[in-house]
Structure 1
Amino acid sequence: MATKTSSGCAVIGVGVLGTSLCQQILSAPEFDGIKLTGITKTTTNHNAIREKVGMDSEDRFQLLTTDECEGTETKFKHIVFCAPPSGSEDYPADVRKSADTLWAGPEEGGVFVFTSSGAVYGPGDSRTVSETSDIADPESSVRVGRLVKAEKAALDAGGCVLRLAGLYNLDRGAHNFWLTSGKPISGLPEGIINLLHYEDAASACLSALKAGSSVCEGRAFIISDGHPLTRKQICESALQAKTYKDCAMPTFASENLNGMALGKVYDGSSSNKALEWSPRFESFDTFMNSMA
């Protein structure tokens, strides 16, 4: 069967981030009329995804499993790979395979976006990192190695990488676990966490698609809201929201440095300018205050 080149877009991994991205792509004037395919490992959540994306988008939106998509012989102009590593036996290989077999390539003007994490910079010591900073040795940990190798697969194919800060919404994120688990928080109260709302992470992916291959090919970007907080500040901010009004400030397992990493500060100013992107939610504190 001959390969068909599609002008459409595929989102691989339609969880919280992927679903928000699908909603934003379908409502973006720049992608009016585009055919969008969501790709998942199983059909388990397909009905819930369709309901969230909107039934009025049925003529433009379809859901396929990974196996079904591999049998279509279609290549997509744009792909966003935002599936988490937890569901993969060989994450870098899955990224490479998606770029090689499903993407039409940068020569078609499209973009392959891989959503990575600032974890590739290592634990940090309060230093500021940007997209040009050195990344950690892939042998330093299994988690870091998996991300570094997956990034390389995307970049080698001519795609781009978005290194995302810690994702959150009202009900998801570190704050939710810390305030509801009843367990002490591992790490220092002064430890720095960079943050990004799920909707803003999705809009950054959309901005990369809009920017095109001339801006994105072979580049890494770092994406955050630009307002890092300490673990203690995150808890204090979350306690403003009605959802957490009955929660107590958790305790911390460690209150002294004792060689523990303090984290990093992300400087995404160059990435924001290149992608012409800015977050809708200015900061975690602003968002939680709006939920009070």
Structure 2
Amino acid sequence: MSSLTSVTAFASPSLSSCDSVAVFGCGVLGTSLCKQILSCPDFQNKSVTAITKTTTNHEKILSNFENCDNFNVVTMDSIKGKEKFDSVVFCAPPSGFEDYPGAVREVAESLWSGPENGRFVFTSSGGIYGPGNGDIVDETSPLPESSKASPRSMRLIQAEEVVKEKNGAVLRLAGLYTLERGAHNFWLEKSDGNVKGSKDGIINLLHYDDAAGSCLAALTTENDIQGKTYLISDSNPTTRYGICESALKSKRYADKTMPSFGESDAGGKGKIYNGKYSNKQLGFVPRYESFDEFMEANK
């Protein structure tokens, strides 16, 4: 699908030329990103502001940044119309918004000072490519027609169109995980021991810290990223069975048992992400090369 309008050319300054960065959505991904920005040599003595919908988690967020004078957390309502930022990263998921594309537009228009000053980065999902049947996808692969896309995918696709209209960059992320979060945790700890889909279904993964690292790479690369789309994964796709097999190697899940899997995948057996171009353009190298390597390190 094409963007709504053509992209106007700007210099697309990198993080080193910015004085301020806002991270909209400060959950696991946003918190990791804020930490990485604040520890980045290109961003010493500059300000980072985390922006949330409510104050509910502010105390928890701030506990991660004790004695950090250039970090602040505010709500959207408290800052909208009062301050704009050189660069903005939107990493809040669709689930919290009735009008997700509208929320992305509001953040871009009310919080970002524009592409002549910095960058707008939006975290999307590789899931918008559809189920797949073992095929390889990259940044240029077509997206499903609206009649075939899921409601969640359509919200993401429409949000991506807004981002490109505003000269921002889209990062389509693989399935995110930490030791305690992700498909493995649900299948091994929270489900009834039965996994929908076959054991051979292909899954592409990315650690939350690496997802944040790709956002930082988008902010710091000298390459022009405006209006462009990138596909981010650890470049080591696995399977549902492989995810569980790897997780069982860790101390956290050592006492769990392998679940049962379905006989087939009605929607397709998955896709293989090829993000080599994205990695090169962003200068991004994942810290965790594979899900299996991460679990091996947590024995």
Q: Normalising by structure 1, what TM-score?
A: 0.93
Any idea what SS the aligned residue of 1:244 has? coil
Q: C-alpha distance in 1, partners of 2:119/2:144?
A: 26
Give the aligned partner of residue 36 of structure 1. Answer: 48
Q: After the TM superposition, which residues 17-32 of structure 1 pair with which residues of structure 2 at under 5 Å, given as runs?
A: 17-32=29-44
Unaligned runs of 5+ in 1: 1-5
Shift of 1:94: 0.4
Deviation per residue, 1:53-74 (Å, 9 max, x gap):
x2121x20111101012141x2
Give yes or no for contact 1:204–1:277 (8 Å, CA) kept in 2.
yes
Q: Which has the higher helix share?
A: 1
Tell me, yes or no, if structure 1 residue 273 matches structure 2 residue 280.
yes
Give yes or no for contact 1:39–1:65 (8 Å, CA) kept in 2.
yes
Give yes or no for contact 1:35–1:60 (8 Å, CA) kept in 2.
yes
Find the partner of 1:49 among 25, 45, 61: 61
Find the partner of 1:86 among 78, 95, 98: 95
Q: C-alpha distance in 1, partners of 2:119/2:240?
A: 35
Give the aligned partner of residue 143 of structure 2. Answer: 135
Q: CA RMSD in A?
A: 1.2
Q: C-alpha distance in 2, partners of 1:182/1:159?
A: 38
Q: C-alpha distance in 2, partners of 1:227/1:87?
A: 30
Q: After the TM superposition, which residues 17-166 of structure 1 pair with which residues of structure 2 at under 5 Å, given as runs?
A: 17-52=29-64, 54-57=65-68, 59-72=69-82, 74-108=83-117, 110-139=118-147, 140-166=149-175
Any idea what SS the aligned residue of 2:206 has? strand
Q: C-alpha distance in 2, partners of 1:71/1:98?
A: 11
Give yes or no for contact 2:131–2:267 (8 Å, CA) kept in 1.
no
Find the partner of 1:289 among 256, 276, 296: 296
Shift of 1:97: 1.1
Q: Normalising by structure 2, what TM-score?
A: 0.91
- More divergent stretch after superposition (21-30 vs 137-146): 137-146
Give yes or no for contact 1:191–1:262 (8 Å, CA) kept in 2.
yes
Unaligned runs of 5+ in 2: 1-17
Q: C-alpha distance in 2, partners of 1:260/1:27?
A: 42
Q: C-alpha distance in 1, partners of 2:146/2:288?
A: 32
Deviation per residue, 1:97-138 (Å, 9 max, x gap):
111121111112x11000000011111111000001111223
1:289 maps to a residue whose letter is E
Shift of 1:95: 0.4
1:119 maps to a residue whose letter is G
Any idea what SS the aligned residue of 1:249 has? coil
